[in-house]
Amino acid sequence: MNEDLIYLDHAAATPLDRRVLVAMQPYFSEQFYNPSSPYAPAIVVRRAYEEAKHVLARHIGAKSDELVMTAGATESINLAFSGIEGHIVVPNIEHHAVLAAARAHDCTLVEADSRGFVSADSIKAALRPTTQLVSVAIANNELGTIQPLRDIAQVIKFEREARLLRGDITPLYFHTDASQGVGQIDINVARLGVDLLTLNAGKIYGPKQVGLLWAASHVRLMPQIVGGGQERGLRSGTENVAGTIGFAKALSLVIEHRKYESDRLTSLRDGLQHKLTAAFTEAIMSGHPKHRLAGHLHISFPQLDAERLVFALENRQVLVATGSACAANKGTRSHVLTAIGLAPEIADGSLRLTLGHLSTEENIARAGDIIVEEITREYARVKR
């Protein structure tokens, strides 16, 4: 990466941490064996793979045989939804993968409020006797709003107990895509009160195309990929040894430095936010002011065109996103911004700035100055 670039899109992709690469390296060309092979060097590989799963499981307070290793969050989410036959409840601001998986079923989209917050009450109101799954991301990937998962878990627990009292055995599971929150939020599955949890290594400085689905032992999943019967038959295919070892290292690093990094990013983000809102009184902040990921800053400049801003900033070596990467590429307006009721002329001038490992006091200060200059120039142009 060009040293002069200032990367403000950590929510879209993160660079592989060098220490993660070092952990993976032995498994590329040296310990490359198929973990299902019977000889000792392969058994050593199998053990390293199992140990990495133990590490992953420990970090979320689960057992390693409840983990299914996947090729990323999208596959994990699809697998989480696979065994569901009944009704599904999801917020209308969820990631495309969740919305697409939900729409393959009878589903209710719950409205988030203007801050992108999904209340436990709104989930409660959407539950039906046939509801089998509620899926809420731990934090919204565009706005950074952190959801009240524990409160939602309580609502789900009450519904389960009510069913039990009625003798109704319809299962009700709670899934969260925690891909965006790992670096900053406690993801202990018992404390969150979830039955299923998705993680993505590629969002936490780990290898791309590596994810996991944790499912409590009482959850019924339907394998989507059948074959050799790996991962307890839930996801066949030769195990991703290097990827899983890298994932475990990445998760360990992120959790080890969680407190420090959250504080650091919050401070940098708040400084940047202050600089931008002080310079532009017309700017509109989105996302929850308090319950928000440390590195997330979603800001709209009414009347401006975010795509023009992305290119103008890119010319100044500052890389930012407009909406989420997927939606941006299609030139469509973000469904999240529409869902929270942002008027089109505001939504279309929205930038998502996400800080992370590559952010420093120096480069965030510089980015702030550059953004102020470019926005000023754009406002001068449109108001001319």
So which residues are the catalytic ones?
Answer: 326
What is the closest distance, in whole angstroms, from the C-beta atom of residue 178 to a second copy in the complex?
16
**What does the per-residue mask of binding to a second copy show for 154-193, with x meaning CB under 8 A?**
----------------------------------------
CA–CA gap between residue 14 and residue 110 (Å, rounded): 30
Tokens 């120039």 identify what position? 377
Of residues 4, 28, 130, 186, which one binds a second copy by CB under 8 A?
28
- DSSP state, residue 152: H
* By CB under 8 A, residue 40 contacts a second copy: yes
What is the closest distance, in whole angstroms, from the C-beta atom of residue 146 to a second copy in the complex?
22
CA pseudo-torsion sign 8, 14, 18, 19: positive
Closest to 116 (Cα-Cα) out of 138, 132, 98: 138
Length of the chain as a residue count? 384
- DSSP state, residue 96: H
CA–CA gap between residue 46 and residue 263 (Å, rounded): 38
* By CB under 8 A, residue 83 contacts a second copy: no
What is the closest distance, in whole angstroms, from the C-beta atom of residue 289 to a second copy in the complex?
27
Task: Choose the stretch contacting a second copy; rule: CB under 8 A; options: 9-17, 114-122, 167-175, 369-377.
Answer: 9-17
What is the helix, strand, coil percentage profile of the chain, to 5?
A: 45, 15, 40
Instruction: Reduce the DSSP state of residue 140 to 3 states and report it.
Output: coil
CA–CA gap between residue 375 and residue 371 (Å, rounded): 6
> Applying CB under 8 A, what is the total number of residues that bind a second copy?
72
CA–CA gap between residue 384 and residue 373 (Å, rounded): 16
Of residues 22, 37, 162, 232, which one binds a second copy by CB under 8 A?
37
**What does the per-residue mask of binding to a second copy show for 93-132, with x meaning CB under 8 A?**
--xxxx-xx--x----------------------------
* By CB under 8 A, residue 78 contacts a second copy: yes
Of residues 14, 119, 135, 141, which one binds a second copy by CB under 8 A?
14
* By CB under 8 A, residue 284 contacts a second copy: no
* By CB under 8 A, residue 295 contacts a second copy: no
What is the closest distance, in whole angstroms, from the C-beta atom of residue 254 to a second copy in the complex?
16
* By CB under 8 A, residue 341 contacts a second copy: no
* Residue pair 280/375 in contact by the 8 Å Cβ criterion: yes
Widest distance between CA atoms in the chain: 75
* By CB under 8 A, residue 55 contacts a second copy: no
CA–CA gap between residue 117 and residue 110 (Å, rounded): 11
* By CB under 8 A, residue 361 contacts a second copy: no
The residue type at 224: Q
**CB-wise, 67 or 155, nearer to a second copy?**
67
* By CB under 8 A, residue 289 contacts a second copy: no
CA pseudo-torsion sign 300, 306, 308, 313: positive
Restricting to residues 202-241, name those near a second copy by CB under 8 A.
Answer: 202, 207-210, 224-229, 236-238, 240-241
Of residues 22, 34, 161, 162, which one binds a second copy by CB under 8 A?
34
* By CB under 8 A, residue 307 contacts a second copy: yes
CA–CA gap between residue 337 and residue 215 (Å, rounded): 31
Task: Choose the stretch contacting a second copy; rule: CB under 8 A; options: 34-42, 57-65, 140-148, 272-280.
Answer: 34-42
What is the closest distance, in whole angstroms, from the C-beta atom of residue 129 to a second copy in the complex?
27
**CB-wise, 96 or 291, nearer to a second copy?**
96
Beta-bridged to residue 196, according to DSSP, are: 175, 215
Q: CB under 8 Å to 260, separation ≥6 — which residues?
A: none
Tokens 């407190």 identify what position? 259
**CB-wise, 292 or 335, nearer to a second copy?**
335
